[in-house]
Amino acid sequence: MKAMRYSIVITCYNQREFIVDAVESALSQRHSCREIIVVDDGSKDGSTDILRSYENSIRLLELPANRGAIEARNRGAALAGGEYLVFVDGDDLFVPWTLEVYEQLVMQRRPAVIVSTARYFEGRVPVFTPRDAPERVEFIEYESLMAKDRSHGWYTCALVISRKAFEDAGGWTPGLFHLDDLDLAAKLGYCGKTILICSPFTALYRMHAGNTVHNVSPFLRSALFIIQRERAGLYPGGRQKRMERYAFHGGMVFHWTRRALEAGLYRGGLKLALGGWQMLLTAVLRKATIAIGGRRRMTVRELNREGAALLSLNAEERLGGRSGR
């Protein structure tokens, strides 16, 4: 038997209207060496009844009470046997070619971390046809995640992490939900080779009324918490890599200070800017240095067009048949 390559960990809490789409998007992946672990975090809306109907297609862990997404993810990861972990929230989805793209990079490059991109959508789940399947993957390879020299959005559903690197980093930080992905990225900052996928996108991020990004205040508190963790020396790399980490955190400070001002949270935005001014300045200097010296060159690799088309057809059939979309 082949060793398990991917452990897909899906977590959900009272997401009955979304969870079928998330599970079906994982089941539609044609990669044979993958397992799907679904952690229901104490749902009370009937989600567990839906998940039980999948029987042996998934591995279901039902938590007796709601413990939060972070503990649910860590509990799911503890059950995982795959070489790589892929986390998906219950309202997000894979696209048909997700694991195909990841597998090509894993086979050729053996990275510790893959950082990809997601496409936003509202309402009905997009349906992909063979014509939508990507023909190539465009990516940049770095010696570490902290060496990344291009900005991009952070999405839990578009991260691939070596299980060893994840365990060595201590997993998701308990109690930190907002900006948890940036905290984990900092903990994985020097765990090994990192690949940033510029194209194609590999996940779908669903926009709806319950998205956490609609409420800025918790993100400001989490940003200050991450700054405190950095100053306490809790992220790897030591003093030698401090400026590189400062530049990474500075991007967070800039983004959420701007979001605070746009939301009219002037006191919170000012507090964050003052608390992270050194990091913000370091990020500006790093951007100027990159602008002068240039960014790392992108690599382009062709994908198997026939395989991608088959993946699209398989996903369209599953999503159309099971969830009625």
CATH of the domain at 157: 3.90.550.10
Return the residue matching tokens 């770095």: 142
Please check whether residue 1 lies inside any domain of the structure. Answer: no
Range of the domain at 267: 215-294
pTM of the model: 0.91
Residues 141 and 72 in one domain: yes
Q: Give CA–CA dist 255/252, Å, rounded.
A: 5
Residues 19 and 85 in one domain: yes
* Cβ proximity of 108 and 311 under 8 Å: no
Q: How many domains are there within the chain?
A: 2
Tens digit of pLDDT at every position of the chain (325 positions): 468 999 999 999 999 999 999 999 999 998 778 999 999 999 999 999 999 999 999 999 999 999 999 999 999 999 999 999 999 999 999 999 999 999 999 999 999 999 999 999 999 999 999 899 999 999 999 999 999 999 888 999 999 999 999 999 999 999 999 999 999 999 999 999 999 999 999 999 999 998 888 899 999 999 999 999 999 999 999 999 999 999 999 999 999 999 999 999 999 999 999 999 999 999 999 999 999 999 999 999 998 654 443 343 443 444 444 443 3
Residues 283 and 316 in one domain: no
List, in sequence order, every residue forming a beta bridge with 61; answer none if it has no partner: 39
Return the residue matching tokens 């039980």: 52
* Cβ proximity of 196 and 142 under 8 Å: yes
* 3-state DSSP assignment of residue 142: strand
List, in sequence order, every residue forming a beta bridge with 29; answer none if it has no partner: none
Please check whether residue 280 lies inside any domain of the structure. Answer: yes
Residues 305 and 200 in one domain: yes
Tokens representing 23?
């599970």
Q: Give CA–CA dist 24/112, Å, rounded.
A: 27
Largest CA distance in the chain: 58
Of 123, 47, 129, whose CA–CA distance to 90 is shortest? 47
Residue 10 phi, psi (nearest 5): -105, 130
Please give the distance of CA 74 from its chain centroid, rounded to a whole number: 14
